C-alpha cells in the first residue's frame, strides 16, 4: 500500500509543475486522497462488505468532491488533477498512468445490472477537463481526450479526440517516453485542430467560390441579352 502511495505521489510530481513537494501533495491534493479512499473501499467491495464500501466511498466524495464507485478499477500512478466534479462509474476501468482533470465523467449508458456499462481506459490515457466518456467501450493506450469532449465510441490508441461528438484530430507518429508525450489538458497546439471548425471553413470557402461564379454567370447573361442601340435603329428603319 505504501509503495502504491509513493508511486502515486511521484506520478503527480512528474505531471504537475505546481506540485512543490511530496508532503504538499500528501496533505493538499484531493486526487491523492480520493485514490487512497477508493483503494480501501474497493478492497471492502471485493470482500463482500458492499454497504460499508459504499459508505466509505460516500465519505470520500464529501471530503474531496470526487465520486468513485467502489466497484470501479483504478490502476497504478493514476493522477486526478484538481478533481472537483469527477465521477467514475461502477464498471469503469482506469489503467495505469492515466490522468483525469476536473469535471470528467466516466459514465454508463445502460441500466442493465451485472453488465459492463462504463468505459475502459487503457494505460496512459488523458481525459481533460469537462470531458464525458459514456459507454462500455475502450479508449486506447496513450489516447488524449480534449476539454469538454463527449466520447460515445471507442477511441484508437495514441490519438487525440475533441468535440461533440468527439472526433480524431491528431495521431501520434512517433513513439516517445510517456513523459515527453504528456500534453496538459489533452488539447493539441494546432489552432485549427477542431474538425468541426475545419469543415465550416471549407464550407465557407466553397460557398464564396460558388457565389462568385454565380455573379459571373449573371453578368454574362445580361451582356448576351442587351441589344446594341445601332441594331435597334437599323431594325426600325
Whole-angstrom Cα Rg for the chain: 28
- Model's pTM, two decimal places? 0.72
Q: Are residues 182 and 220 in the same domain?
A: no
Q: Are residues 117 and 211 in the same domain?
A: no
Q: Are residues 216 and 169 in the same domain?
A: no
Q: Are residues 172 and 203 in the same domain?
A: no
Query: Pick from 189, 209, 228: which residue ends a domain?
Result: 189
Give the chain's domain count.
2
Number of residues in the chain: 237
Q: Are residues 138 and 219 in the same domain?
A: no
Quote the CA–CA distance of 151 and 141 in Å, as a whole number: 15
Residue-level pLDDT at 234: 59
Quote the CA–CA distance of 9 and 23 in Å, as a whole number: 9
Q: Are residues 208 and 143 in the same domain?
A: no
Boundaries of domain holding 143: 2-189
Tally Cβ neighbours within 10 Å of residue 215. 10
User: What is the grid cell recorded at 51?
Assistant: 454497504
Q: Are residues 92 and 203 in the same domain?
A: no
Q: Are residues 111 and 171 in the same domain?
A: yes
Residue-level pLDDT at 114: 81
Q: Report the phi/psi class of residue 128: left, alpha or beta, with left for phi > 0 and alpha for psi in -120 to 50.
A: beta
pLDDT tens by residue, 117-145: 999 999 999 999 999 999 999 999 999 99
Q: Are residues 78 and 127 in the same domain?
A: yes
Residue 194 lies in a domain: no
Amino acid at each position: 500500500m505504501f509503495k502504491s502511495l509513493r508511486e502515486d505521489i511521484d506520478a503527480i510530481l512528474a505531471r504537475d509543475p505546481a506540485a512543490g513537494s511530496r508532503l504538499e501533495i500528501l496533505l493538499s491534493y484531493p486526487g491523492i486522497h480520493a485514490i487512497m479512499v477508493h483503494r480501501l473501499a474497493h478492497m471492502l467491495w471485493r470482500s463482500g462488505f458492499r454497504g460499508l464500501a459504499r459508505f466509505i466511498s460516500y465519505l470520500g466524495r464529501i471530503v474531496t468532491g470526487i465520486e468513485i464507485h467502489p466497484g470501479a478499477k483504478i490502476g497504478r500512478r493514476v493522477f486526478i488533477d484538481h478533481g472537483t466534479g469527477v465521477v467514475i462509474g461502477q464498471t469503469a476501468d482506469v489503467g495505469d498512468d492515466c490522468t483525469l482533470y476536473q469535471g470528467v465523467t466516466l459514465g454508463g449508458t445502460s441500466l442493465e445490472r451485472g453488465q459492463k456499462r462504463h468505459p475502459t481506459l487503457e494505460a496512459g490515457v488523458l481525459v481533460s477537463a469537462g470531458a464525458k466518456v459514456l459507454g462500455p467501450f475502450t479508449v486506447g493506450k496513450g489516447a488524449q481526450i480534449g476539454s469538454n469532449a463527449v466520447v460515445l465510441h471507442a477511441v484508437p490508441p495514441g490519438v487525440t479526440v475533441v468535440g461533440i461528438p468527439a472526433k480524431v484530430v491528431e495521431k501520434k507518429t512517433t513513439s516517445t517516453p510517456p513523459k515527453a508525450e504528456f500534453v496538459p489538458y489533452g488539447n493539441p497546439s494546432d489552432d485549427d485542430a477542431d474538425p468541426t471548425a475545419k469543415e465550416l471553413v471549407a464550407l465557407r470557402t466553397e460557398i464564396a467560390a460558388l457565389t462568385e461564379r454565380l455573379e459571373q454567370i449573371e453578368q454574362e447573361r445580361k451582356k448576351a441579352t442587351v441589344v446594341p442601340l445601332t441594331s435597334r435603329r437599323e431594325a426600325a428603319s
